[in-house]
Structures are given as C-alpha cells and as structure tokens.
A and B are shown apart, each in its own frame.
Chain A
C-alpha cells in the first residue's frame, strides 16, 4: 500500500521535473460531469447490487440524495474517448504519459493504488481533477527492465463549490525492457 513517506528528490532528475514534485502540475479540463447512465454501467460491470446505488427511495432514506458509487471516483478524471470538435481529449493521468514520454519509457505498470472518498459525487456534479507529482525515484533496474517509479496524487474537486470529493494515489513503475 502507498505510504506517505516522501523520498528525497533524486539528483539525476532534470531541473524542471524536480521543481514539479509536490505541486499541482496539471488540472484535467474540461470538468467531467457525473451522469447516472455511467453510474449504472459501473455498477453493472462490477455486479454491485447495493440498493443505495440503484433505488432512489433507499438513497433518499440513507443519504438524503442520489449518490455515485464511491469507488467510481477516479472515473471522473477520465474524459470521453472522442470529441466532436476534432481535438483529442486529455488522456487520463496525462502527467503520467508526459513523464513516460519525457524519459523515453515505453511500458508501465501500476503497483499500488489508494483512494479516499469524502463528500459523495452526485449525478450532475462536474468534477475537476488536480494532478500532483507526489514522488519520483531514481533510475533503477529490476526484473521488468530499467525505468523509474513515480507516484501521482490526484485531488478530485466539485467544480461549483470546490468541495473535496476525494484523493487518489497511484504508484507506477515505467520502464523499458532489456534489449
């Protein structure tokens, strides 16, 4: 599991990457709107029959309103696949991909993931996501190949009032296979 013991910034980092550590490096835009159809698709995909999340009467009784499945939080930083204006939407975890490209690392795996869920997301909420490069390690070689570990910290905020909906930490290892 991800432990919040920040490691020192390694000396082999380019200065602009080193400067980025611990700060908001990117805000995913535009905001993603939570919609009920997507919520139902998520519940169906994970075969979650919790009546709180399906039945408006139960939701009103227990939560006072309809709420999204809490585990769905990270979906709200993921844009649709295609936009009609021809512009490519930002990729989910765009910063991760930019770091991969910057270091020339072709492959990546997610090791640990941790999400904390605070105020619930409701249908119609517009969610914005701030991405922080929480930690980045020196170049290492292991059984997968040579690369770097980094941890992104995502902060999910409701656009209309700035309420903190949750946070997520994802630890990656990005690497190239031995040639």
Chain B
C-alpha cells in the first residue's frame, strides 16, 4: 500500500511487506539486465562445483534494484531514492520465499523535501535475514517541488545520519 501523498513521514512506521518467490529467472534476468556476465549468476554447475555455493546467486545491482523498487512501491512515484546501502549476509538463491520488510528509521526536513531513512530487510522463509539494507529517499513536502525536478546543488543528498538537516519531522 502506498503512503498518502504529501504527509510527513513518521519515524517508526512499518512499511507493508512484499514477498517474492525467487526463481532462476529472477537471478539470470537481473544479471543480464545489469550486464553482469560472471558465472555466479547464471551457471549453477560452476557455482556448486567451483565456488562452493548452493546455487546461482543474485548479484549486487539486482539487489539494489529490488530494494529501490520496494521503497518506491511504498513512497509512490514522487519518491526519489538517493542512497542505498546493504550488507549481504547470505546469498539470495532460487527457491527462497523472500520477504521485504521495512521501517522508517529517521526523517528530517530538508530545504526542498523530506528526507527519510528506511531500514529494509530481505528475509527468507525461515526468518533468516539474507540482506540487511537501508535506503535514503526524498519525499515531496506539501506545496514543495517534486524531488525528481531537482538537479545539481538543488538536490544535496545528506549523509546517512541526516545530521546536517533540521530536527526530526515527527
């Protein structure tokens, strides 16, 4: 479910979850779309026999794409993701029921928009976090410009801790 447009982000709000059953096509399509030709992302035999992996694994930019997609599914199209960071704890492989869950960790008012830091976990069906991530996303303020309209110095991306911005929104 998308957040109501123009409303301030509230720290502690949980995002709706999203579950995806990961198939080999998810892994391979991501690798091709990101021009990643390494065998870890398409050659199961080599993964198992050479690399000691359980299967082909999802690559880094594909994971970034899924995380951004999850963030904007919640924010709606005006949301502009400006930072994504993640730590891959265990590989994402075919057959997983992968659930995306997220929480608003921090929110502050910038010159042109609200800046919101999301904590996002990618958790498998056994409850094990496969990837731990966070995303910094700009949201439009009521009556303010669309974040996606801003360029150059008009879109100063803050640090992860948002320390350079005003006090928390809520």
Answer whether A and B are interacting partners. yes
Grouping DSSP codes into helix (H, G, I), strand (E, B) and loop, the B interface class, with mixed when no group exceeds half, is mixed
Which listed residue, A43, A62, A114, A177, touches B85 by the CB 8 Å rule? A114
Take A45-B62, A47-B20, A58-B77 as given contacts and tell me if A70 and B82 are in contact as well, using a CB distance cutoff of 8 Å.
yes
Q: A120 interface residue, CB < 8 Å from B?
A: yes
Q: Which of B8-16, B27-35, B108-116 makes up part of the contact surface?
A: B27-35
Q: How far is the CB of A89 from chain B (nearest CB, A)?
A: 10
Give A24-63 interface residues, CB cut-off 8 Å to B: 38, 41-52, 58, 62-63
Q: How far is the CB of B105 from chain A (nearest CB, A)?
A: 12
Residues of B within 8 A of A71 (CB): 61, 64-65, 67-69, 81, 84
Give A95-144 interface residues, CB cut-off 8 Å to B: 107, 110-120
Q: Contact string, B59-87, partner A, CB cutoff 8 A, digits 1/0?
A: 01111111111001100011011111111
* Complex Cα gap A92–B35 (Å): 9
* Complex Cα gap A41–B155 (Å): 28
| Contact across chains for A63 and B146 when beta carbons are under 8 A apart | yes
| Contact across chains for A80 and B35 when beta carbons are under 8 A apart | yes
Q: Give the interface centre of A1, A41, A46 by most chain B CB atoms within 10 Å.
A: A46
Take A52-B77, A58-B77 as given contacts and tell me if A2 and B85 are in contact as well, using a CB distance cutoff of 8 Å.
yes
* Complex Cα gap A107–B30 (Å): 22
Residues of B within 8 A of A6 (CB): none
Interface bracket on B:
35 or more
| Contact across chains for A78 and B82 when beta carbons are under 8 A apart | no
Take A46-B30, A62-B146, A118-B157 as given contacts and tell me if A74 and B151 are in contact as well, using a CB distance cutoff of 8 Å.
no
B136 (CB) vs chain A CBs: closest residue = A116
Q: B97 interface residue, CB < 8 Å from A?
A: no
Q: Which 7 A-B pairs have the closest CB atoms?
A: A46-B65, A78-B35, A48-B69, A63-B148, A71-B68, A114-B85, A52-B77
Partner-A contacts on B (CB < 8 A): 20, 26, 29-30, 32-37, 51-52, 60-69, 72-73, 77-78, 80-88, 134, 146, 148-149, 151-152, 155, 157, 160
A to B CB contacts below 8 Å, 23 in the list: A1-B85, A38-B35, A43-B65, A44-B29, A45-B33, A48-B69, A48-B72, A70-B68, A70-B81, A71-B64, A71-B65, A72-B61, A74-B64, A75-B34, A79-B35, A80-B35, A81-B37, A113-B63, A113-B88, A114-B85, A115-B64, A116-B82, A163-B152
A46-B68, A48-B65, A74-B34 known, 17 other contacts, Cβ within 8 Å: A44-B29, A46-B66, A48-B68, A50-B69, A51-B77, A62-B77, A62-B149, A70-B80, A71-B65, A71-B84, A78-B35, A78-B36, A80-B35, A92-B35, A111-B87, A115-B64, A163-B152
